[in-house]
Structure 1
Amino acid sequence: MAGRRLPLWIGPLLLAPVLTTAYYVAGHFAGGFAAVTQLLYSSASLTAVAGLVRGALRYRPRGARRPWLLLAAGQGSMLIGDLVYFVLGRSGEVPYPSVADLWYLGGSLGFTLGLLSLVRRRTPEWDLPSLLDATVVAVAVSLLGWVYLIHPLSAGATGPAQAATVAFPVMDLMLLSVGVRLMIGAGTRPRAFWLVMLWLVGVLIGDTTYAVQALLGTYDGVFVDGVWMCAVLCLAAAGLHPSMATVDEPSPAAAPDATRTRLAILAVASVVAPVTLGVQYLRGAALHVPEVTVACVVLFLLVLARMAGLVGVQRTMAITDGLTGLRTRRYLEEALRTEADRCRRTGASLAFVLVDVDHFKRVNDTYGHQAGDRVLVEVARRMRQVVRTGDVVARYGGEEFAVLLPGADPRSVAAIAGSIHRGVSTAPFAVGDDQLLSVTISVGVACLPDDTHEVAELTRIADQALYAAKASGRNRVVLAGTDPLPAAA
């Protein structure tokens, strides 16, 4: 193992203690070495920008780089703000607010948009439920922020100074809201995800500490800057880690589940307003009755909407496979009966397709059940991409899938079944960070009324066709009553 090079993403994590220690030492000589401390501080931001851009170009395909480039733009805006502040400080006392503050606010906006883009890519069907959850938390935290930070800090300030004093905590609250939405949402959680979470926690701790110290008049720039530097270098490591390619993989879950953790978070957030009122009363401090009243009403309505949404979620989940996001077998069978009745009335045709993943047990035994699950999820995704609008794709059981094709006659169903076969089998599957596996499928097809007039007989004939495809060597399509089509090249 001698001479083995460390992964590139480890570099920023190793650099963090070195930079922060050097910054702390240089901070004691700030009068004579202000440029040195600024160089050390800015190097962390520059490392993050470079790491995010490099990772986006290396690990992300064109068109899927937006979240990481937005994060890079946000950190770049922060870097420009630091440099502007340093230049202004060289010529005297920096006014508040200054041009640098505009760059800082732009950086927070870039961070928020970057995380929001990640959220939407990870859970494309969760927009409304996740937005409600995140808004509940955001309203509760906003109330606390207003009572204990924003209002005290902005007291006595007027005009632009007051606007800036309010704007910074508000931007942090927006970032926190999106961060909570990312954290409690579904989706993969590779190492790059947790590095992003460390960065977010570090930024929020640094910003909150800065606000509290500014309120108490005990601001310690070296400590807070050290927290920010470590956080920024975690973001650099996230950008350089190969798993950043999978952070925004869409979750197969159709909607967020009512987990204990999620419900506990919503419960705590919903009682923040009355608890804050009680604490302020016991302290003999300002009660902020209008703000607390508005927060109580908003939280009540949000939680009520969320509970109503959960009823719809449970109905959806009853007909949705939890792993693949496809319809369940029960839903498919109901749809099959409905479509068969319609065919009898109108004389239209109906095709039923059964799909089985070849040698799936070998995948589980060789690569593990997690890899097997990834294969099933990818098979489901590829099948959805090639079927027509209105076709029903379902998980039939285990590694078997089924497709209901209303209006497909024997000629068109052969083309559709072939598209399903090619769409799934021609490209390798990722079963690990650096492992690709060729996976094939066998397909059996039966049509109504050409092969039978009975629903139960239709599924049996399709199953026989699937068995014939597997018996003749797998990796092929068999239409009921015909010879197996040759395997794909």
Structure 2
Amino acid sequence: MWVGYLAVVAAVAGLYYLVPLLGSVGPAAQTVTYAIVIWSSVGALLVGVYRNRPTRKGPWLLLAAGQLVTASADLMFDVYHFLLETTADVTPADPLYLAAYPLYAAGLLLLVRYRTPGWNAPSMIDAAIIAISAGLLSWVFLISPSAHADDLSPLARAVMVTYPVMDLLLLAVASRLMLGAGVRPPAFRLLSGGLVLLLVVDAVYGVQQVLGVYEDGNYLDAGWMFVGALLGAAALHPSMPRLTEHSPAAGPDATAGRLTVLAVAALLAPATLLGQYLRHAPMHVPLATASCMAMFLLVIARMAAMVRVQRQMAITDALTGLRTRRFLQQALRSEAARTHRADFSVGLLLIDVDHFKRVNDTYGHHGGDRVLCEIAHRLRSLVRPGDVVARYGGEEFAVLLPHAGDADIVAIGERIRRGMATAPIAVDGETLITVTVSIGASILPGHVLTTDDLTLTADRALYAAKEAGRNRLVTSQRDSSA
């Protein structure tokens, strides 16, 4: 349906540029043709919500409201300019046009909220860099010339300045949406295309207005028609409901395309300053300097965030979200050093999933992965705050227990063993299986004197637990079985 809608809009848009050949009725026919496309986009957005039934309708209804206000503004513009033949620079259509932008922005903010409820600082920083860069360009080429246009009334100048400000608001929110996490189905690409096209067409229109070369009915009208068409097509596409799905994972971070966009945005400020200097035009040095400083600080913050992300990735297992073996070894050395300075001990549990190869062979790697993820989730809930839970390798896990004596490691180990065996795990939509674990435990300095010995004795205890029949906890001093 969405393809057919775009095809019809393309045909009507072509007709829009042919009807002026009809003579005296051409302008009226052209106005009607344009209105058909814009109003149809409102209908497409509403039909898309009705047909696809997204669980969260708010963003799409706000986008439809924005498009409805835009269509109403077009109608008001036509009444004043063609029926009443007014030559006023400002008409009641302008407040309506401007009112559409907050509605668009609110709809996009809701999409961002649903897709990534957290702050997602990297995407916010990237959006801020783009917005600051675009803000400087807008000031130099649109806002400042409009604010100082002697041939306009104060009201007209205020309206002319407000349009690019609204575009900057929309750009900031759209950038946050497009750079954030979340799935990117075809509906997302259609929506993004419509937003980018709207911002580009508005910018070209603003430049033409400043230069005094804009003419009604030029190619920009096709751009505005396709903005509505792309928004409507996004709503009509069957993948539309997926746009509001929650995405707990971070989005693409340091991709080549993303870095290219950010590099261009960061370079635009000094390039604009140089261009104004070469043209002997106003250089707006204070604003350009402030923009460069702000972007410099944001880039530094972005780099710091990337370092934090890389550090987190280095110490986090990609499948289970637990700490890595390397992190465990570093934490073990740290805790061992503390045991020499203070009077306390540290325990280590090595945990192996019983018959895990059989799970993989029977249910495939996807089923095995689900088992590992569920075990990781249970481990986190069964240990104490401050304990370190790590994936040791394959189907093996480890728990580092600071300030733990013999009684503590036995109690925690038994709690883990029972917590795994008593509740089945779903390996697919319908199949539940019971999984048990074998646990080997050791303690420093109670059982051994070095971290290497601690790991070795825990490993030997784990081997003894498996040899003794599995689903049991073995320490160097005790065997606790089912």
TM bucket (normalised to shorter chain) is: 0.7 to 0.9
**Match of residue 7 from structure 1:** none
Q: 1:394 to 1:351 in 2, by over 3 A?
A: closer
Question: Is the counterpart of residue 168 in structure 1 residue 179 in structure 2?
Answer: no
Q: What is the TM-score of this pair, normalised by structure 1?
A: 0.72
With 159-168 and 287-296 compared, the bigger mean Cα shift is at 159-168
Checking the alignment, whether the CA contact within 8 Å between 1:139 and 1:295 is kept in structure 2 is yes
Amino acid at match of 1:293: T
State whether structure 2 residue 145 is matched by structure 1 residue 152: yes
Residue 18 of structure 1 and its aligned partner are, at CA, apart by: 0.8
The structural deviation recorded for 1:217 is 1.0
In structure 2, what is the Cα distance between the partners aligned to 1:176 and 1:376?
Answer: 43
Q: Matches of residues 80-479 of structure 1 in structure 2 within 5 Å?
A: 80-83=69-72, 85-86=74-75, 89-90=78-79, 92=84, 95=91, 98-117=94-113, 120-121=116-117, 124=118, 127-156=120-149, 161-185=156-180, 188-215=183-210, 216-219=213-216, 220=218, 222-237=221-236, 240-241=238-239, 244=242, 248-251=246-249, 258-322=254-318, 325-338=321-334, 345-346=343-344, 351-354=349-352, 359-360=359-360, 379=374, 382=377, 386=381, 389-398=385-394, 400-404=396-400, 409-411=409-411, 413-416=413-416, 419=419, 425-426=425-426, 428=428, 442-448=436-442, 454-462=454-462, 465=465, 478-479=472-473
Match of 1:78? Answer: 67
Tell me the alpha carbon deviations over residues 169-194 of structure 1, each in whole angstroms, 9 at most, x when there is no partner. 33433443444444455555444443
1:218-257 per-position Cα deviation (integer Å, ceiling 9, x unaligned): 343641232212321342145x31771685422168xx75
Going from structure 1 to structure 2, the CA distance change for 1:84 and 1:260 (only over 3 Å counts) comes to closer
Task: Give identity over the alignment, percent.
Answer: 31
Match of 1:17 among 7, 27, 32: 7
CA distance in 2, matches of 1:165, 1:378: 56
> Once the 2 structures are TM-superposed, how far is the Cα of residue 381 of structure 1 from its aligned partner?
8.0
**2:116 partner SS:** helix
Shift of the 316–155 alpha-carbon distance from structure 1 to 2, 3 Å rule, reads: same
CA contact (8 A) 2:190 2:231 kept: no
SS in 1 for 2:39: helix
CA contact (8 A) 2:105 2:173 kept: no
CA contact under 8 A between 2:424 and 2:432: conserved in structure 1? no
Q: Select between 410-419 and 288-297 the one with higher mean Cα deviation.
A: 410-419
CA drift of 1:297 comes to 1.9
**Which SS does the other structure have where 1:279 is aligned?**
helix
Tell me, in whole angstroms, the C-alpha distance in 2 between the residues paired with 1:211 and 1:438: 62
Q: CA RMSD in A?
A: 4.4
* Aligned mates of 2:188, 2:357 — CA distance in 1: 31
What is the total number of aligned residue pairs between the two structures? 443
Q: CA deviation at 1:44?
A: 1.7
Displacement, 1:377?
A: 9.5
Name the counterpart of 2:451. Answer: none
Code of the residue aligned with 1:48 in structure 2: it is L
- The code of the aligned residue for 1:146 comes to W
Q: 1:167 to 1:438 in 2, by over 3 A?
A: farther
Deviation of 1:336 (Å) = 4.0
Q: Tell me the distance in 2 between the aligned counterparts of 1:213 and 1:384.
A: 63
**Structure whose CA Rg is larger:** 2
What SS class does the counterpart of residue 321 from structure 1 fall into?
coil
Q: Residues 263 and 374 from structure 1, CA distance in 2 versus in 1: closer, same or farther, beyond 3 angstroms?
A: farther
The alpha carbon displacement at 1:293 in A equals 1.8
Residues 385/351 of structure 1: CA separation in 2 closer, same or farther (3 Å cut): closer
Mapped to 1, the partners of 2:144 and 2:433 lie a distance apart of 60
- What SS does the aligned partner of 2:61 have? helix
Deviations 1:137-166 (A, max 9, x none): 222222122222333344435655444433
Alpha-carbon contact 1:202-1:231 (below 8 Å) kept = no
Kindly provide the amino acid, as one letter, of the partner of residue 130 in structure 2. V
Q: Deviations over 1:252-274 (max 9, x none)?
A: 68xx7545544444333322222
Gaps of 5+ in 2: 20-25, 449-453
